[in-house]
Amino acid sequence: MAAGLEVAAGWVYGIAPYRISGGLSGDPRGSLPGGGEQGLLFGYAGLSERAISEGTGAWADWSPADRNHGQTSPGIRQDGVMATWRQIEQDAPEFAARVRSRFDAGTNKTIATVRRDGAPRISASELTFADGEATLGMMSGSVKLLDVRRDPRIAVHSPTIEPPAGDPDAAPGDAKLAGTVVGIAPPADNPYQGAGFFKLDITEVALTYVGTPADHLVIESWHADRGWQRRTRR
C-alpha cells in the first residue's frame, strides 16, 4: 500500500472506512478529526481531492499533469453528493456508454456490501440499467440483502472478461460503481416473495484499461462534485 494511506479494517472496493492524513472515515461525506477528508476509496479513481492535492496515498507518484490531464466534465455540482445513472449519462455520455458496455458484457457482477461487524462481503449479483437508473435485486434471506438493509453502501464491479488468446493487452478493462442503494417497488410480475429491489444513488464511477500503446494505464472516473476526469499512469 502506498505511503500516506492507511487502510482500516473492512476495506473492500472503496466502501469501508479508511485513513488519510490521520483522519478516520466511516461515511463518504464530511470532515475528519485528523485533518483528512472523507471519500470513498475506489482504487486510483476515488481518493479524496484533499489526498490528491496534498500528494498523499496512492496518488503520491502522479504528476500534476497526470492528475488533471486537462480533461474533465462539469459534474452535477449540487448539495447532494449522489446522482442517478441518467445524470451521469447526461454529464459524460461517452464515458457512461463505455462503463455500461463493461457491465453489459456478462450477467454476473460482483457486489461488495458491509457486514454487521464492518468487514467486507463480496457476492455475485445482477445489475440492470433501465429508465435512467442502475437497479438490482436480492433474494429474500440472502446475507447481502441483510447487509444493505443495515448499511446501504455498496460497490459493484463489472464482469471480468479475459482478453483474446495471445493478446493480453486487448483486455476490455474494468468498470466500478459505488453509492447507496434505495428501495424501490418490486416489478408487477415479481414471483419472489420477500426479495429486495433497489436503485443505486451513485457517488463514484470508475473505468480502468490498458492504453495504446500498451505502456500505460488509463483511469477514467466520475464523481458527483467534480464530474468526469481522465488520467494516465505509467
Domain holding 192: CATH number?
A: 2.30.110.10
Least trusted range by pLDDT, from 67-76, 151-160, 171-180, 196-205: 67-76
The 10 Å Cβ neighbour count of residue 192 is 13
Going by C-alpha positions, the residue among 86, 70, 62, 98 that lies closest to residue 176 is 98
Is the whole-model pTM more than 0.75? no
Sorted by sequence, the CB contacts under 8 Å of residue 29 that are 6+ apart come out as 38, 81
Residue 8 included in any domain? no
Q: What is the pLDDT of residues 10-27, one digit of tens each?
A: 333 343 333 323 333 333
Number of domains composing the chain: 1
Residue 13 included in any domain? no
Domain that holds residue 202: 71-233
Going by C-alpha positions, the residue among 142, 205, 182 that lies closest to residue 13 is 205
Mean pLDDT for the chain? 75
Q: What is the pLDDT of residue 76?
A: 55
Residue 89 included in any domain? yes
C-alpha cell at 156: 459493484
CA distance 126 to 111: 9
CA distance 90 to 83: 11
CA distance 183 to 171: 35
State how far the alpha carbon of 202 is from the alpha carbons of 50, 66, 179, 220, in Å: 21, 25, 4, 16
CA distance 230 to 67: 8
User: How many residues are listed for the chain in this entry?
Assistant: 234
Q: What is the pLDDT of residue 157?
A: 98
Residue 90 included in any domain? yes
Residue 5 included in any domain? no
Residue 6 included in any domain? no
Residue 208 included in any domain? yes
Residue 212 included in any domain? yes
Q: What is the pLDDT of residue 150?
A: 97
